[in-house]
Amino acid sequence: MPLLLSPINSFEGAVKVIDAGADEIYCGVAMQGEHRHFTLFRGPGASPAQLPTYDELERITEYAHRHNVKVIPVINEPFMSEALEKEVKNHICSCVEKGADALIIGDLGVLSIVKDVGVEAPLYASTYFVSMNCEAVDFLRKLGFSRVILERHLTIHEISEIVSRSKVDIEVFCHWGGCSNINANCYFYHHNAIPGFAMKRALKKAFDEKDPRSMVFSPCTLFYGVYDVSNGKKMCDVPILDAFTGCSLCHLQALIHAGVSGLKIVGRYKTAKDQETWTRIYRELLDFIWHGRSRIRHKKMREKINSLKNELGRTHIEIYCKQKRCFFSPLFNVPYESLIPSWELKKARRS
């Protein structure tokens, strides 16, 4: 059965997700030192997605190890520079010292530091390496990674192909964080890093207007005025960059059959309650599918998912189900279709 990996950003969250059935937990820890304000996506500097101190990490590892759960700190920004070397080195050593069972790495420079300080813990290749084919996985394997986390924009068929031909464990994202763009090549930094006044205002407006999309705070889900470059004419206002996905309950059976080793829930920035709820839901469905042994009939599967959906509440159904924001939906799916008048999109397409 694939391992279920849950995110945490506090001791309280760790206790809850372990209780809910996580096999492994992963977390960031805020890097200390002069460059602690350097944050790209969710780190390495301080952000609400990070544990504030190494002591908190130590407390968590002690608790998790008592329950046979592994703790995996993320050192995964796709960036490294000479100026950061000393602090990142200290950061890695501190994480290992506090009992980390493995490290998630997202940059080749950081990997060289890990090797330099002689870390013996297993190394997992982050999604920031954008592994989309068997050769990329092989490249990372040769560098010493024992698990590779695939890019989120792959289809189940592509994942299955990679799993069947790879010599390392393959992990995929299963819930939240199905970004509109390829993570490592997206510079719409927005997770408590770049928002600034204008973006906060735009997002607050969406929230105040009870826009169902406001659950996803990012520049790629905003409405943009779209102008044709050739004639300068405005075509329409649409969230043209919005391809956000965030749920794979309905595809879980296919993922298990594809043979992935790990299923990751995103949400280090979420509340402990959210982290716990989603861990419990995925745990229940994973066990249900696994113990069903062969393929579970479609009707029975639907009933099970629907029973879980009642637990998820209306918001989830409004955002993810009705707008078809499923991980592994067709690449050219248009989740914003239901958010704008159909004639507007038709008119734009005709023009």
274/240 Cα distance (integer angstroms): 29
204/211 Cα distance (integer angstroms): 10
- Interface with another protein, residue 211, by CB under 8 A: no
- Interface with another protein, residue 53, by CB under 8 A: no
Q: Locate 258 and state its tokens.
A: 């594809």
128/78 Cα distance (integer angstroms): 6
Of 60-68, 168-176, 217-225, 297-305, which part binds another protein (CB under 8 A)? 217-225
Evaluate whether 81 touches 89 at the Cβ level (below 8 Å): no
Write the DSSP symbol of residue 111: H
> What residues from 126 to 155 belong to the interface with another protein (CB under 8 A)?
129-140, 142, 151, 153-154
Buried b (16+ CB within 10 A) or exposed e, 22-35: bbbbbbbbbbbeeb
Nearer to another protein, 197 or 343 (CB): 197
Among 187, 298, 299, 341, binds another protein (CB under 8 A): 187
- Interface with another protein, residue 172, by CB under 8 A: no
Bridge partners of residue 6, in order along the sequence: 25
272/265 Cα distance (integer angstroms): 13
> What residues from 76 to 115 belong to the interface with another protein (CB under 8 A)?
78-85, 107-109, 112-113
> What residues from 319 to 348 belong to the interface with another protein (CB under 8 A)?
330-334, 345, 348
Q: Kindly state the number of chain residues that form the binding site for another protein, as judged by CB under 8 A.
A: 81
Of 52-60, 198-206, 264-272, 284-292, which part binds another protein (CB under 8 A)? 198-206
Among 68, 118, 208, 230, binds another protein (CB under 8 A): 230
Nearer to another protein, 101 or 138 (CB): 138
Of 21-29, 220-228, 295-303, 312-320, which part binds another protein (CB under 8 A)? 220-228
Evaluate whether 11 touches 56 at the Cβ level (below 8 Å): yes
